[in-house]
Structure 1
Amino acid sequence: MTCHCISFYTTILGVLLLSLLYFAVAVDRTNFKTCDQSSFCRRCRKVKPNETPYEVVSSTVIQNDSTLQAELFNKDTGVSYLLQLTSLKDNIFRLHINEKSPLHKRYEVENALQDHPRQAELKIVESLSNNVTVTSGPNKAVLHFSPFRVDLYSGDQLVVSANARGLMRFEHLRTKAVKQSEDNTDNNAGNPEETAQYPGDGAEDDPGAWEENFKSHQDSKPYGPEAVAMDFSFPGAEHAYGIPQHADSLALRSTKTTDPYRLYNLDVFEYETNEKMALYGSIPVLYAHGKERTTGVFWHNAAETWVDILPSADNNMVDSIVNFMSGNVKKPQVESHFMSESGIIDVFFLLGPKPLDAFRQYTLLTGTAPLPQMFTLGYHQSRWNYNDQEDVAQIAEKFDFYDIPMDVIWLDIEWTDSKKYFIWDARKFSNPLEMVQNLTTKGRKLVVIIDPHIKRDNTYYIHNEATANNYYVKHTDGKDYEGWCWPGASSYLDFFDPKVREYFGGQYALDKFQGTTNDVYIWNDMNEPSVFNGPEITMPKDLIHYGGWEHRDVHNLNGMMYTQVTYDALYKRSGGTLRPFVLTRAHFAGSQRSATVWTGDNAAEWEHLRISYPMCLSVGIAGMSFCGADVGGFFKNPDSELLIRWNQAAAWLAFFRQHSHIDTKRREPWTFNDETTQIIRDAIRIRYSYLPYWYTLFREHEISGYPVMRPLWAHYPGETATFAIDDHLLVGDAILVRPVFEPSVTEVSVYFPGEGKDTWYDVDTMQENKTPGATRIPVTLHKIPVYQKSGTIVPRKMRIRRSTVPMKNDPYTLVVIADAEGKATGKLYIDDESSFEYRHGKYVYLRLNFDGKMLSSRYIDNQANFETASWLERVDIANPPKGVKSAKLTSQSLGTVNLEAKYNTNNNVLTLRKPGVNMGEEWFIELIN
């Protein structure tokens, strides 16, 4: 036998060294580029405003039913481009610009859009010597010829302009210029195709145009400079939001004196807060919001992208002084500048006008998240790593012992045989099927991690099959790429290849993935992809994917392609009956269709707790509502107060999971003291009581595209005080949450929106807050401020059990808070909580209405049909009508039933106990004086 001892020890040493890098106590900024170190960002940022060389050739303008088409010409380079401006349904326009005759095809993003966007009729209404105007419904677009600019109007109001500042840059494909010899002769005169084509854009002068070095890594750039960029102006807007993922405020900050925001999926361990650095995901959608409207742009490009932001306050600072002196009032305006390394210019304009309209328009393009199974909305317990199957069993038993509900236990990478995914460690997990069955008998599930790196080990069947079938990402010379990750030497499957997707998806089949059942779900981590010894801890850009595309073209898509494989595999595994659950770290536009997301490797610090809210709000308005953060922090050890506050805050994020690093102390809810256990238990139980409301919101997200968790300005778009608030959130439109993000405080500032038109009631005491706007609210260690809005009806379940499964048929409580007119509305959605039968009409969707005298439940969809055993146990009505002595319920199954009505004089709540009506039928309750 040949000895591989040297290579073995080299591998071990390499893994140890790289692990030390990964476990660094803070992010090493030198591992990641700045804009100045990125040649294309440098070039794009140097473009001088108001000197654009691009102009439309007026004689080429043509129009069909939905598209205006023209030739765009760069007068400095002589290069021609094809421009298409298309009108789409629901107040959306699309601008598409590509080279007219490129040297080779440029990459256009695939898979981000859920379908071909539906087009709308477009008409030319005015054609002048220097512009043409088209209309589509209430909207108007003006294409200016020279200088090139596109203005988009809602009615007669200008809402967004493209290239208004003239920062567009489209680096045409070219051959590399040949340097002249000292005697001024062409060293390659006999080979004319080697001379430069179309000089004049200055790219050739950049030392990183044709190859670029960063630390010890060299990017060969065989196609040379190919960046694209464009600026967008938003008249009337005050703040910009979106372009996640960044550990920064929800309202984007000015980049006037800093680096731009970066969109480039990277493994940034223990990232810092309040930073514009790239993180694990990149969703290039931006919203600009002002008192009058919300407008968005979706930059449909998967290459590395930098975005400059100039909010209105910064943008207008100098002008404001001049205008103040002259008595003029300058209209606010937000400026942005998108810069991508390759691809084309393909941008969608979302014309709103309201915030929820813009959010819906984006999800019409990229899709919504499918309704998750109910168990996914419960509490998840994770750690890197639970030691073995006995450890898993003991954890589950202790949740029962302490009467704390829990739905899922997670296993990190140590469940595998030496990091060989799909193969269990036979010593630690000798009988995984038994472990899974012990969980599922109590209504719980298991999630295991499957990462994209494949261990280069000739005893590993996946590596052998991937090598034999050419399934790996390649070097330019056609050889398999090898990098370093948790297994040591690793290669990476090319998920852009349909054959690879089919092959890898097949590994999830129950007869292939031994030791699993349909109750085992999947966590896809490290899928940026993370490569410990790669440039910026990721894959080199000049590697080759299926179709001949460079990694630079598709980098930000990689994580989404991986999760889509997993989602499809889980769907197929159950015969299309069960809704898959996949957690991802890397994400892009459209990832919401296949995965849940979390905020990555945070730390047990108050600021990381604080930043979890704007981070989840940001991805939420970018389509990914199912977001959470590692409770307690992944790195470091929280004290009991921080862990309490984190659980209280996370109970109001969509994804609720505790997770921690292998070197941290155990932090299950019972590991501190009795008081800590009790408070965390209460926080988790409150979460479970609101699951009917969460579930209804997720169904409404699938239908409408509205985020489940929303910033305050989404529902109060004209209330300027809400624009910069990101330490509060709204769950739907009814629940306002303001967690405690600082240690040892006895009060916090809560902003109650609505300017007095809406009032807010403490969900625990049902006491009304009578002071609109910012108010100091007392807090204790046991309580954070959570309020329900007047005029709403929220469904709850008050019988909390060990998991969601035994709660399925439990009765409902309706919390009704009447507004100033004595009215309230709400919705409730019910189905089997796990299958896709709801897509075949097997559900109940109810509109709940209280008019001051009568509470009713009516079908929203009369064609739907689902039998539920759940019934109505209780109705609480805050701010009720006076003098009610009894109530009368009427339904088809019960006929007419008299109910006792009882007032609570302490908080002015009227309670109707045990109406007893089945929640699957229509009914009404009349209040009687």
Structure 2
Amino acid sequence: MEAVTPREVSVQDEAVDKSTFKKCNQIAFYRRQKLLHPGKSSYRALLESVTLSDENVKFQIIHEENKVLLQVEICEIEGNIFRLKIDEASPLRARYKVRDVLIKEPTTQRLFISQNEGGILVLSSVNEDYKLQVIANPFQVELQSKGETILSMNSNGLLYFEHLQPPPSDRYTVAFARLFLFMQETQEDLGLWQEKFGSFLDIKAHGPSSVGVDFSLRGYDHVYGIPQHTEGLLLKNTSDGDAYRLYNLDIFGHKIHDKIGIYGSVPLLLAHKPNRTSGIFWLNSSETLVDISTKAVAEHGLSGSAAETAKQKAVPLTDVRWMSESGIIDVFLLMGPTAFDVFKQFAQLTGTQALPPLFSLGYHQCRWNYEDEQDVKAVDAGFDEHDIPYDVIWLDIEHTDGKRYFTWDKKKFQNPRKMQEHLRKKKRKLVIIVDPHIKVDPKYTLYSQAKDKGYFVKDRNGQDFEGICWPGSSCYLDFTNPEVRKWYADQFAFKTYKGSTNILFVWNDMNEPSVFKGAELTMQKDAVHYNNWEHREVHNLYGFYQQMATAEGLIKRSSGKERPFVLTRSFFAGSQKYGAVWTGDNTADWSYLKISIPMLLTNSMAGISFCGADVGGFIGDPEPELLVRWYQAGAYQPFFRGHSNMESKRREPWLFGEKNTQIIREAIKERYVLLPYLYTLFYRAHTAAEPVMRPLWVEFPGNIETFGVENEYMLGNALLVHPVTEKDAKAVSVLLPGSAEVRMNIYTVTFQTILPWLCFLQIPVFQRGGTVIPLKTTAGKSTEWMVDTSYELHVALDTEASAIGELYLDDGHSFQYLHKKQFLYRKFTFHKSILSSSCRDESGQYQTMCVVERVIVLGFGHQPTFVTACSKGNELTSVLLQYFEIPLPCCHLLQVAN
């Protein structure tokens, strides 16, 4: 089949048609589970079956009606984590268990049985801070901390487990069996053995296998997480029947405020109240729906007049119901008690954010598509001509030979290596796209090799699954197979990927996987993967596995010496280990700029700090004001890329008039000046699982007014950022939590006191009192041009006239920081009018020519009477106090007197 052009494929038009995608009531397993209403559970625990080992506690539960036995396993994991697994005691065949997401099998701590009588089993943790109470009839589990119930499982009786059954009896002919099933399922509308959606038929070879259970979070009415959705920061009640859906889909121009799943899934939910943060991690990679209900309830155990009194003391209760199409119940309860504890607990299980190469934190220029080598060189020259920094230019699918990945269009890119050498001399990089679908073409080496080796996903009849995507008829690599991932990683070797160099990095797109004209524009659920697992079991892992293989390929090509950069559209829990993600095909509209903030905050809370949204909107043509505001917002977000559709007008930053070019230039330069602080935040994310971008409530956990704020955020612990997301805004209202401790960094809370030309020049950014942030003194053409550029420190004093901060630096590209401890990690402290610098980590050693050239101190209120420098090195060469420059000799300590 010939290659398919965008205009020949109706997928983009179909994708905005909501009928292309299922509503919750069109999902069979959801309908079946919703037939089970809150009430007394049908499951009873057989506490006489309890066994105790160093690793876990096991016992069985039984369904009172169908008499099926389930095996329950509970364990405690070091660091206030509890794991609860439920599987069939004697399954007809093994059920799918998620692999490769956990970085290792967690180390467990011994639980102790402190009671097993009267229908109650009580398990105590080693440190005795937590107790698990298992109630036998009806089966229920409560997790308590110091006598307080934090959460309970199955308290609403919604435990649901479809045990595997043999197919219809062989005494029926196949035709009669299908007719019987059709009549049965039409009558009951349950989709047990097959399910229709439009013209698509999903044959369930192993029958229904759905699982689900409810959790009640006592005292919580603020819940967050479960990305990715185009929704606000706070998760909403789903009483309208519109559950949050975790099912990776390619939805072009996705609708704002919709609970349908898009692109990626992380089944992690966080709950917060003023004195505690908790988390629930539902480890299941099949399609999952989440129902949420928040209400107020009276205290337990009250009756009569006491119950009347409790009406005035009602506490919030949030019920969360997880429903998955298949697999087992494997859930981790993250007990915090702080938000940062929960982040660390999740990272302990799934890994921390990979430390990115420094260049990838600069600005990226992308378009579908830069046409040829001359176009690339012209755009690159344009940035220099207009004095705008940038680090990376990107090539979309049109750079290939007929959408054959790992190739080049021989007319448009005749000498890709020479083009990359040109970029290398400019100290810049190239990113190219590599999608998972492989064009069906026996003459295409990648296809023929994968075909011969049996590396493609199969259809239900055992043939290679074929679907339509950009090249036309395509097969899809089975990344769930470790052998396929190894082979795929080898394709990035320089000798194999002709024309590639070590400044070429990778973008994995369309990896939900996207299948034009497929059911919901993705792969059939009855397709078959490695070890005969159906696609329904692993769907949400497909993009995760491709990014894993790609990152391993880039590391392997450098013999393990260089850090990779891989951007992926589809992701799952743990994707942070392999690179960056973005929010997908957004639209050039103010509402998409606005919603990008809570979307990125939600990704960040789910472990994926390296995230961003396409600046300007991928679809359509932004008006100049919107584009400028988006650049100003993107400059203070983790991943900073301008991108646009091929049908959008060209929008390089200098195409909107000199005034707008100036503002965009300043926004990008601010980003480059900020890189030392940003890189330090990424090191904290890498080593301590602290999100780079975080909601206000994470930094101010006791301040209730911050709990629902989604139009501003903290960048690290020091900067509060409030992007302007409204057209023609002349003023914004900024919440400054703990106002006595927050100092203004740039201008003022509103724009009204600024000269009119400044209204459009800045967005509100504030530095928190008590912090020190490291900056570069000036922006360069790219990050490599700034290696020897000196630093300056911004010191914002708190009410005690003190401040602390950090600076991390290394070579910015290799693994030497890890293997050879080649890094510097400094701590800056301002206390009792003395600014000092000390080593944050004595194990690190790294040589740099950089010095701290200036110090700006905010919060004195008036200029100091004198400054004394104590010479102990060459780390400070001059000081700027209250914007007045005071030359100083080289010094290590700086003493300032009022």
1:132 matched to 2:114: no
Asked whether the equivalents of residues 131 and 143 of structure 1 are also in contact (C-alpha less than 8 Å), the reply is: yes
| 2:29/2:190 contact within 8 Å kept | no
Counterpart amino acid of residue 59 in structure 1: E
SS at match of 2:405: strand
Residue in structure 2 matched with residue 844 of structure 1 by the alignment? 824
- Tell me whether 688-697 or 459-468 shows the greater mean CA deviation: 459-468
The match for 1:215 is 198
Alpha carbons 2:857, 2:880 under 8 Å: kept: no
- 1:158 aligned partner: 149
Q: Secondary structure at the match of 2:51?
A: strand
Alignment of structure 1 residues 35-184 onto 2, 5 Å: 35-136=24-125, 137=127, 138-177=129-168
The structure 2 residue matched to 1:823, chosen from 778, 781, 802, is 802
Residue 263 of structure 1 is matched in structure 2 by 246
Matched residue of 2:166: which SS?
A: coil
Tell me the equivalent position of 2:526.
542
- Equivalence map 1:862-877=2 (5 Å): 862-877=842-857
Could you say if the C-alpha distance between residues 395 and 913 of structure 1 is closer, same or farther in structure 2, counting changes exceeding 3 Å? farther
Picking from 848, 851, 867, the partner of 1:887 is 867
Tell me the residue number matched to 1:191. none
Aligned to 1:19: 9
Query: How far does residue 477 in structure 1 lie from its aligned partner after superposition?
Result: 2.1
Instruction: Please give the per-residue CA displacement for 1:9-38, whole angstroms capped at 9, x wherever unaligned.
Output: xx56x76676233256x7211111111111
Provide, for residues 619-645 of structure 1, a one-character-per-residue CA deviation record: whole Å limited to 9, x for no partner.
100010001011100000001000000
Q: Residue 643 in 1 paired to residue 623 in 2?
A: no
**Structure 1: unaligned runs, 5 residues or longer:** 1-7, 180-185, 189-194, 197-201, 918-922
2:368 corresponds in structure 1 to 384
AA aligned to 2:71 is L
Which residue identity is paired with 2:450?
Answer: A
| Contact 2:84/2:331, CA 8 A, preserved across alignment | yes
Cα–Cα, structure 1 residues 458 and 122, in superposed 2: closer, same or farther, change >3 Å? same
Identify the match of residue 411 of structure 2 among 427, 432, 451. Answer: 427
Change (3 A) 1:741 1:338: same
Matched residue type, 1:35? C
Pick which of 494-503 and 78-87 moved more: 494-503
Distance 1:880 1:111 in 2: 53
1:681 aligns with 2:672: no
Taking a change above 3 Å as real, the CA distance of residues 894 and 343 of structure 1, as seen in their structure-2 partners, is closer
Contact residue 854 and residue 880 of structure 2 kept, 8 A = no
Distance in 2 separating the partners of 1:16 and 1:518: 31
Change (3 A) 1:696 1:891: farther
TM superposition shift of 1:589: 0.5
Question: How far 1:925 moved relative to its partner?
Answer: 2.0
Match of 1:764 among 730, 735, 746: 746
How has the CA–CA distance of structure 1 residues 776 and 50 changed in structure 2, closer, same or farther, with 3 Å as cutoff?
farther
* Structure 1 segment 3-14 matched on structure 2, within 5 A: 8=1, 11=2
C-alpha distance 115-398 of structure 1, shift in aligned 2 (>3 A): same
Displacement of 1:349: 0.2
| 1:881 to partner: Cα distance | 8.2
Counterpart among 834, 847, 858 of residue 854 in structure 1: 834
Q: Give the alignment partner of residue 310 of structure 1, picking from 293, 301, 317.
A: 293
Matching residue's letter, 1:382:
C
| 1:178-217 equivalent positions in 2, closer than 5 A | 205-217=188-200
How much does 1:63 deviate?
1.7
Identity across aligned pairs (percent)? 42
In the other structure, the counterpart of 1:805 is: 784
**Structure 2 counterpart of 1:86, one-letter code:** C
Q: Is the 8 A contact 1:451 1:527 kept in 2?
A: yes
Name the CA shift for 1:796/1:350 in 2 (closer, same or farther; >3 Å): same
324-333 or 59-68: bigger deviation = 324-333
Distance 1:478 1:346 in 2: 30
Equivalent residue for 2:17, pick from 25, 28, 34: 28
- The residue number in structure 2 matching 1:232 is 215
Query: Aligned partners of 2:407 and 2:389: how far apart in 1?
Result: 30
Cα deviation, residue 893, structure 1: 3.6
Residues 1:870 and 1:313: Cα distance change in structure 2 (over 3 Å): farther
Q: Does the 8 A contact of 2:83 with 2:332 survive in 1?
A: yes
In 1, Cα distance between equivalents of 2:389 and 2:307: 60
Give how far 1:882 is off: 6.5
Question: Contact (CA 8 Å) 2:246, 2:289: kept in 1 or not?
Answer: yes
Residue 739 of structure 1 corresponds to which residue in structure 2? 723
Give TM-score, length-normalised by structure 2.
0.94
SS at match of 1:364: helix
- How far residue 263 of structure 1 moved from its aligned partner, in angstroms, is 0.2
Shift of 1:311: 3.1
Deviation at 1:206, TM superposition (A): 4.5
Given the superposition, is the C-alpha separation of residues 241 and 470 from structure 1 closer, same or farther in structure 2, using an over 3 Å criterion?
same
Structure 1 counterpart SS, 2:597? helix
Indicate yes or no: 2:634 matched with 1:663: no
Say if 1:82 and 1:97, in contact at 8 Å, map to a contact too.
yes
- Separation (CA, whole Å) in 2 of partners of 1:348 and 1:371: 26
Residues 535/902 of structure 1: CA separation in 2 closer, same or farther (3 Å cut): closer
**Aligned-residue CA RMSD in angstroms?**
2.6
Q: CA–CA distance in 1 between the matches of 2:423 and 2:19?
A: 45
Instruction: Choose which of 431, 437, 441 in structure 1 pairs with 2:425.
Output: 441
Is residue 476 of structure 1 aligned with residue 460 of structure 2? Answer: yes
Q: Does 1:924 align with 2:893?
A: yes
In structure 2, the CA distance between the partners of 1:588 and 1:900, relative to structure 1 (3 Å rule), is closer
Q: How much does 1:335 deviate?
A: 1.1
Q: CA deviation at 1:178?
A: 5.1
* Runs of 5+ unmatched residues, structure 2: 174-179
Deviation at 1:325, TM superposition (A): 9.0
Looking at structure 2, the residues matched to 902 and 464 of structure 1 have their Cα atoms a distance apart, in angstroms, of 65
More deviation, 210-219/132-141: 132-141
CA shift, 1:145, in A, is 1.2
The answer on whether the counterparts of 1:887 and 1:901 sit within 8 Å (CA) in structure 2 is: no
Cα contact 1:878–1:910 (8 A) shared by 2: no
After TM superposition, the structure 1 = structure 2 runs for residues 469-548 of structure 1, keeping only pairs within 5 Å, are: 469-548=453-532
Say if 2:290 is the partner of 1:297.
no
Taking the aligned partners of 1:547 and 1:605, their CA distance within structure 2 comes to 45
1:551 is aligned to 2:535: yes
CA separation in 2, counterparts of 1:168 and 1:883?
66
Give 1:910 shift: 6.7
Q: CA deviation at 1:332?
A: 1.1
SS of structure 1 residue aligned to 2:343: helix
Does the Cα contact within 8 Å between 2:401 and 2:410 map onto a contact in 1? yes
Partner of 2:341: 357
1:661 deviation in Å?
0.3
Deviates more, 1:151-160 or 1:783-792: 151-160
Secondary structure (helix, strand or coil) at the match of 1:572 reads: helix
Q: What TM-score comes out, normalization by structure 1 length?
A: 0.91
Deviation at 1:848, TM superposition (A): 1.0
Q: Give 3-state SS (helix, strand or coil) of 1:637's partner.
A: coil
C-alpha contact (below 8 Å) 1:141/1:150 kept by paired residues: yes
1:159 is displaced (CA, Å) by 1.0
Aligned partner (choices 770, 784, 789) of residue 791 of structure 1: 770
Q: Which moved further from structure 2: 604-613 or 69-78?
A: 69-78
- Structure 2 equivalent of residue 183 of structure 1: none
**In the TM superposition, what is the alpha-carbon distance from 1:204 to its structure 2 partner?**
11
CA distance in 2, matches of 1:883, 1:415: 58
Counterpart of 2:855, as a letter, is V
- When residues 912 and 41 of structure 1 are mapped into structure 2, their CA distance, relative to the original with a 3 A threshold, is farther
Match of 1:629 in 2: 613
Instruction: Spell out, residue by residue over 1:868-890, the C-alpha distance to the aligned partner (whole angstroms, 9 max, x if none).
Output: 11101000111238673443444
Question: Residue 762 of structure 2 aligns to which amino acid in structure 1?
Answer: K
* 1:408 maps onto 2:392 in alignment: yes
Q: Which whole-Å CA distance do the structure 1 matches of 2:411 and 2:497 have between them?
A: 17
The answer to whether the aligner puts 1:704 opposite 2:688 as a matched pair is yes
Amino acid at match of 1:337: R
